[in-house]
């Protein structure tokens, strides 16, 4: 993945996932105070909060497991598109990490499935979530916490399964592509 390192202490794939997840937790905290936290610019003044969440994840004081309820059942009850929030039209099961990338079996794991409208499903296609989101909704827009949280947890599982959590942070998605190549 091209791009800037979001925090200078990130060295590995695991660090990168923890840092992204720390922003999800920080956004929940900020929103619980009644402030906005859905854009990158809104988060600029909260970097210290993100870093403290990151340190908690790194040290094991917090974990990624149950922070947000993202079971398949809950998703079915929440009848709207995970991406744009649309409640109109038919919702379809969408793979956050595409079948093309990780293969059919892994892609159909319930932790990789969300409901989306047809338009978002088609638009996203086989693209990576965060870069697709920026292209569709604007570079300042962060993916909704719910879908970002699921994505990061599943990325963690995939990297854990293939032993690449301690690879350089810049390989956080290319290592997944290698898994896909093996599955096809
Ligand atoms: Zn949508």
Q: Length of the chain in residues, anyone?
A: 184
Residue 106 inside a domain? The answer is yes
Q: Does residue 151 fall inside a structural domain?
A: yes
Query: How far is the C-alpha of 147 from the C-alpha of 114, rounded, in Å?
Result: 8
* Cα of 137 from ligand 1 centre, angstroms: 11
Tell me if 173 is assigned to some domain. yes
147 lies in some domain? yes
pTM of the model: 0.85
Ligand 1 centroid – CA 82 distance (Å): 7
23-45: pLDDT as tens digits: 999 999 999 999 999 899 999 99
Residue 64 near residue 20, CB atoms below 8 Å: no
Q: Answer yes or no: are the C-beta atoms of 115 and 94 closer than 8 Å.
A: yes
Q: Is the pLDDT of residue 68 over 70?
A: no
What pLDDT does residue 182 have?
Answer: 41
Give the mean pLDDT of 116-132.
93
Domain enclosing residue 80, as ranges: 13-62+74-183
Examine residue 8 and state whether it is found in any structural domain, yes or no: no
pLDDT, one tens digit per residue, over 74-105 is 555 578 899 999 988 899 999 999 998 888 88
Spacing, Cα 89 to ligand 1 middle (Å): 10
* Span from the CA of 93 to the centroid of ligand 1 (angstroms): 12
Would 52 be classed as within a structural domain? yes
**What's the CA-to-centroid distance between 130 and ligand 1, angstroms?**
15
Residue 165 within any structural domain of the chain: yes
Contact present, 115 and 75 (Cβ < 8 Å): yes
Nearest Cα to Cα of residue 114 among 88, 79, 142: 79
Q: Is residue 50 part of a domain?
A: yes
Whole-angstrom Cα distance, residue 139 to residue 161?
Answer: 31
User: Pick from 48, 53, 28, 49: which is nearest to 38 by CA?
Assistant: 28
- The per-residue pLDDT for 180 is 45
3-state secondary structure of 39: strand
The count of domains in the chain is 1
């Amino acid at each position: 993945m091209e791009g800037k390192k979001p925090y200078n202490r990130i060295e590995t794939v695991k660090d990168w996932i923890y840092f992204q997840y720390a922003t999800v937790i920080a956004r929940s905290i900020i929103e619980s105070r009644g402030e906005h936290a859905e854009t990158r610019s809104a988060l600029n003044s909260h970097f210290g909060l993100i870093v403290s969440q990151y340190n908690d994840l790194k040290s094991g004081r917090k974990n990624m497991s149950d922070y947000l309820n993202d079971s398949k059942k809950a998703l079915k009850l929440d009848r709207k598109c995970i991406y744009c929030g649309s409640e109109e039209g038919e919702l379809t099961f969408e793979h956050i990490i595409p079948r093309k990338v990780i293969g059919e079996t892994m892609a159909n794991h319930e932790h990789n499935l969300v409901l989306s409208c047809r338009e978002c499903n088609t638009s996203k296609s086989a693209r990576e979530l965060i870069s697709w989101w920026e292209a569709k909704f604007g570079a300042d827009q962060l993916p909704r916490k719910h879908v970002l949280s699921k994505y990061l947890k599943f990325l963690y599982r995939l990297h854990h399964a293939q032993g690449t959590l301690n690879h350089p942070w810049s390989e956080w998605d290319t290592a997944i592509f290698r898994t896909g190549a093996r599955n096809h």
